[in-house]
């Protein structure tokens, strides 16, 4: 596995990462990591790699976009001194353009999204052993849907940055597309954004595959 023993993994993002986690920093006893993919990742790392003694910290915050991440990056990432950082952001950057079309101040253009995310990655890479970038997604099989199409554009930005900066990359949209070959989006998400436990397991598996998790260890 790419993440070595004794590592501290900080996972940051929006509500999909937050998922009811403990504030201000989620780590420790009594299920602080929330009900989502972060908790599943932590549980499987602990169960399959107990000898690695890995620490998983959740600092996702509901409603946040990439600009919000930049505002709290020092406190919620750098100051925690992680070995690895996982970032999944972009859903709200796109969504606000559709559910709040008249509130331009709530929108994040694709140019600003790319510039800000890339700046955070460049700032962080010298301080850590590695980063994992996950694309935003929309659980919709119709790629011509306006929000799905826009989300794909933002996902392509994440892929571009991951390639340029040589980070690990998770195409979250692609794994949901594979799921949608067998089920309708309603089976895992009421709004095509916030998944149930099966949807979170889809994200967790994709993340673990990216870091070289050995399922039959």
pLDDT digits (tens, 9 = 90+) for 49-94: 999 999 999 999 999 999 999 999 999 999 999 999 999 999 999 9
DSSP, residue by residue, 117-163: HHHHHHHHGGGSSEEEEE------S-TTSHHHHHHHHHHHHHHHHHH
Residue-wise pLDDT for 148-181, tens only, equals 999 999 999 999 999 999 999 999 999 999 999 9
Best CA proximity match to 120, nearest among 133, 106, 136 = 133
First to last CA, the chain: 10
Distance CA 82, CA 55 (A): 9
Fold of 8-210: Rossmann fold (3.40.50)
Tell me the catalytic residues: 15, 191, 194
Token pair of 197 as six digits: 């436990």
pTM for this entry: 0.97
Calculate mean pLDDT across residues 45-50.
Answer: 97
What is the per-residue pLDDT for 192?
A: 97
DSSP H or E run through 11: strand 8-13
Domain boundaries, the chain: 8-210
Distance CA 179, CA 142 (A): 13
Exposure string over 175-187, b if 16+ CB within 10 A, otherwise e: bbbebbeeeebee
Whether pLDDT at 139 is above 90: yes
What is the per-residue pLDDT for 217?
A: 86
Query: How many residues in the chain?
Result: 217
User: What is the pLDDT of the chain when averaged over all its residues?
Assistant: 97
126, burial (CB in 10 Å: exposed 0-12, middle 13-18, buried 19+) = exposed
């Amino acid at each position: 596995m790419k993440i070595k023993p004794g590592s501290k993994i900080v996972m940051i993002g929006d509500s999909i990462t937050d998922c009811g986690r403990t504030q201000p920093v989620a780590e420790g006893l009594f299920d602080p990591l929330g009900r989502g993919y972060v908790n599943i990742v932590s549980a499987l790392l602990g169960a399959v790699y107990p000898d690695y003694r890995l620490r998983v910290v959740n600092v996702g915050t509901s409603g946040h976009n990439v600009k919000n991440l930049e505002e709290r990056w020092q406190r919620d990432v750098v100051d925690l001194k992680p070995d690895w950082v996982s970032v999944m952001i972009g859903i709200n950057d796109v969504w606000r353009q559709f559910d709040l079309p008249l509130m331009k101040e709530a929108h994040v253009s694709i140019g600003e999204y790319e510039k800000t995310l890339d700046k955070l990655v460049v700032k962080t890479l010298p301080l850590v052993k590695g980063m994992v970038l996950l694309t935003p997604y929309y659980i919709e099989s119709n790629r011509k849907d306006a929000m799905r199409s826009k989300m794909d554009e933002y996902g392509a930005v994440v892929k571009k940055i991951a390639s340029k900066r040589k980070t690990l990359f998770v195409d979250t949209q692609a794994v949901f597309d594979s799921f949608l070959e067998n089920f309708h989006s309603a089976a895992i998400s009421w709004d095509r954004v916030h998944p149930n436990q099966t949807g979170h397991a889809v994200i967790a598996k994709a993340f673990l595959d990216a870091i070289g998790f050995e399922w039959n260890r």
